[in-house]
Amino acid sequence: MQNVPIASLGPCQFPSPLHQIGTVEVPFKTDADRILYTNTVAGLSTDSEAITFEEAGPREHIFFDPAKTTVGIVTCGGLCPGLNDIIRGIVNQCHRQYGVTKVYGFRYGYEGLVQRYGHTPLILRPESVAQIHNFGGTILGSSRGQQPVGEMVDTLEDMCVDILFVIGGDGSLRGAAAIAEEVTKRGLSKAVVGIPKTIDNDIMYLDKCFGFETAFAEAVNAVKCAYTEACGAVNGVGLLKLMGRDSGFIACFAALAGSNVDYVLIPEVPFALEGPQGLLESLRYRLAKRGQAVIVVAEGAGQNLLQSDGSTDASGNARYGDIGLYLKDQINSFFKSRRMEVNLKYIDPSYIVRSVPANPQDNVYCSRLAQSVVHAAMAGKTHMLVGRWHNAFVHLPLEMVTHGRRKVDSKGELWHAVLESTGQPARWE
């Protein structure tokens, strides 16, 4: 077995204030409590799969003295259901369970950690966050892009912040890793802990990210609307574009749950538009046979069909062409050239999905995730994040999850289930 190491600030000398919550003994964990990377017997037979992750949970002794500890929280990147739930969970856990009374919320992402922007941090208390989980977005605001690492660490020093919680996707987590490295270079005893956030559910080594349950539930409603529109006209086509820059999880889950989808197009599976085996001819046959069709396309699908100028956004991600509008134009042109009536309705609910409050499943997940990250940080864990793997919360090094993206396996069970549900071609030629 190979244990994945987690960085620590040093020995834990303070007894945890969680020794007894009410009349229930706390299920303390130790660093020896591990979760296997693989969940198959076959996986254990290969050395490459026989690795273990440190299990998350409260430690019997902690590194920081709660009465002298100051915490900072920052939310980065695009909006996602559950951001306010995570903030609320961290604040409540710090105040009510550990007795940490100084919690700052840095506003507008990493900009809030650079003093020249003038974003005054918020003071967060249980009473000020009591109802924020009922609202979408983040009360702290957010922004994209990196900021000077040295200036951000200067702010942490000036404000005597001992623990920084970074809530964001892979770009934001790379920023958290850079902050942690600068903290180490300066010899400071500050913990930097990430909370992985991506609506695309594409963080490596995680079962799922918070907000995903809500996102695909909202996407299912959009699938129903696309189906209703398709059924309401002669040769009706409901074309729905969903999130998914590099991973098609939302498109797959929404299609399976919606059950009325004829085509799912995702970044992991290239598709042909023209030709006898292409999407357009397949769609023509489907309309002739059934009279309506629903197409779900992830935003990153079919980028090989579009021209790119090579530009990037503030986070350094390549700017993708709009595959939804492209497909809309191509479908309309195709049927017009064949003098066949088509009534296409195009739906893009991306920002509606991003901005809604978390649903009950995500409420619970966010609450437990927030508790776990506070346990880890108070124990002096740093340069790491907390996520769920095989239904258990685990500690993972930041660098381990930022060197790639989790993707839909085109030969796996999920994609096979989509093919069975839609009846679309397994290969486009």
H/E/C letters for each residue in 36-99? Answer: ECCCCHHHHCCCCCCEEEEECCCCCEECCCHHHCEEEEEECCCCCCCHHHHHHHHHHHHHHHHC
Kindly state the average pLDDT of the residues 39-46: 70
Q: pTM score, two decimals?
A: 0.93
Provide the pLDDT for residue 47.
57
In a domain, 415, yes or no: no
The closest of 251, 304, 292, 334 to 428, measured between CA atoms, is 304
Kindly state the average pLDDT of the residues 236-246: 95
In a domain, 409, yes or no: no
Domain boundary among 353, 378, 409: 353
Provide the pLDDT for residue 137.
94
Q: Is there a single domain that holds both residue 339 and residue 366? A: no
Euclidean distance between CA atoms 236 and 309, whole angstroms: 34
In a domain, 38, yes or no: yes
Q: Is there a single domain that holds both residue 187 and residue 284? A: no
Euclidean distance between CA atoms 25 and 31, whole angstroms: 19
Q: C-alpha 231: how far from its chain's center? A: 34
User: 415-424 long-range CB contacts below 8 Å, 24 or more apart?
Assistant: 415/252, 415/268, 415/269, 417/252, 417/256, 418/252, 418/255, 418/256, 418/264, 421/255, 421/256, 421/259, 421/261, 422/255, 422/261, 422/262, 422/263, 422/264, 423/262, 424/262, 424/263, 424/264, 424/282
Provide the pLDDT for residue 265.
97
Kindly state the average pLDDT of the residues 348-358: 92
The closest of 162, 157, 59 to 102, measured between CA atoms, is 162
In a domain, 15, yes or no: yes
Q: Could you confirm whether 200 is annotated as catalytic?
A: yes
Q: Is there a single domain that holds both residue 344 and residue 376? A: no
Under a CB-based contact definition with an 8 Å cutoff, are residues 410 and 188 in contact?
no
- 315/69: higher pLDDT: 69
- Mind giving me the DSSP string for 176-197? HHHHHHHHHHTT---EEEEEE-
Kindly state the average pLDDT of the residues 245-259: 92
In a domain, 410, yes or no: no
Domain at 68, CATH number: 3.40.50.450
Euclidean distance between CA atoms 168 and 31, whole angstroms: 26
Q: Is the pLDDT of residue 45 over 80?
A: no
The confidence band for 24, taking pLDDT boundaries of 50, 70 and 90, is confident
Neighbour tally for 400: CB within 10 Å: 14
Q: Is there a single domain that holds both residue 143 and residue 266? A: no
- Mind giving me the DSSP string for 107-164? SSGGGGGSGGG--PPEE--TTTSTTGGGSSS-TT----S---HHHHHHHHHHTT--EE
Both tokens of 135, joined, read: 């609202």
The closest of 194, 190, 206, 205 to 8, measured between CA atoms, is 190
Tell me what percent of the residues of the chain surpass a pLDDT of 70: 95
Q: Is there a single domain that holds both residue 49 and residue 127? A: yes
Mean pLDDT of the chain: 93
Q: Is there a single domain that holds both residue 311 and residue 380? A: no
User: Which structural domain range is residue 241 located in?
Assistant: 215-353
Q: Is the pLDDT of residue 226 over 60?
A: yes
To which residue do tokens 């994945």 refer? 4
The confidence band for 32, taking pLDDT boundaries of 50, 70 and 90, is very high
Domain at 340, CATH number: 3.40.50.460
Provide the pLDDT for residue 427.
85
Buried b / exposed e along 225-236 (16+ C-beta atoms within 10 A): bbbebbeebebb
Q: pLDDT by residue (tens digit) across 141-189? A: 999 888 999 999 999 999 999 999 999 998 899 999 999 999 999 999 9
Provide the pLDDT for residue 49.
59
The confidence band for 198, taking pLDDT boundaries of 50, 70 and 90, is confident
HSE-up of residue 203 (Cα within 13 Å, Cβ side): 32
71 exposure class (CB count in 10 Å sphere: 0-12, 13-18, 19+): buried
Under a CB-based contact definition with an 8 Å cutoff, are residues 385 and 173 in contact?
yes
Q: Is there a single domain that holds both residue 185 and residue 305? A: no
Under a CB-based contact definition with an 8 Å cutoff, are residues 291 and 236 in contact?
yes
Q: Is there a single domain that holds both residue 364 and residue 276? A: no
Question: Which one of the listed residues 85, 162, 170, 200 is annotated catalytic?
Answer: 200
Buried b / exposed e along 87-112 (16+ C-beta atoms within 10 A): bbbbbbbbbebbebebbbbbbbbbbb
The confidence band for 395, taking pLDDT boundaries of 50, 70 and 90, is very high
Q: Is there a single domain that holds both residue 196 and residue 311? A: no
Q: Is there a single domain that holds both residue 152 and residue 287? A: no
The confidence band for 202, taking pLDDT boundaries of 50, 70 and 90, is confident
Q: Is there a single domain that holds both residue 191 and residue 262? A: no
In a domain, 417, yes or no: no
Kindly state the average pLDDT of the residues 391-402: 93
Q: Is there a single domain that holds both residue 220 and residue 112? A: no
Under a CB-based contact definition with an 8 Å cutoff, are residues 121 and 106 in contact?
yes
Kindly state the average pLDDT of the residues 132-148: 94
In a domain, 419, yes or no: no
In a domain, 408, yes or no: no
Domain count, the chain: 2
Euclidean distance between CA atoms 162 and 160, whole angstroms: 6
Domain boundary among 334, 353, 372: 353
The amino acid at residue 194 is G
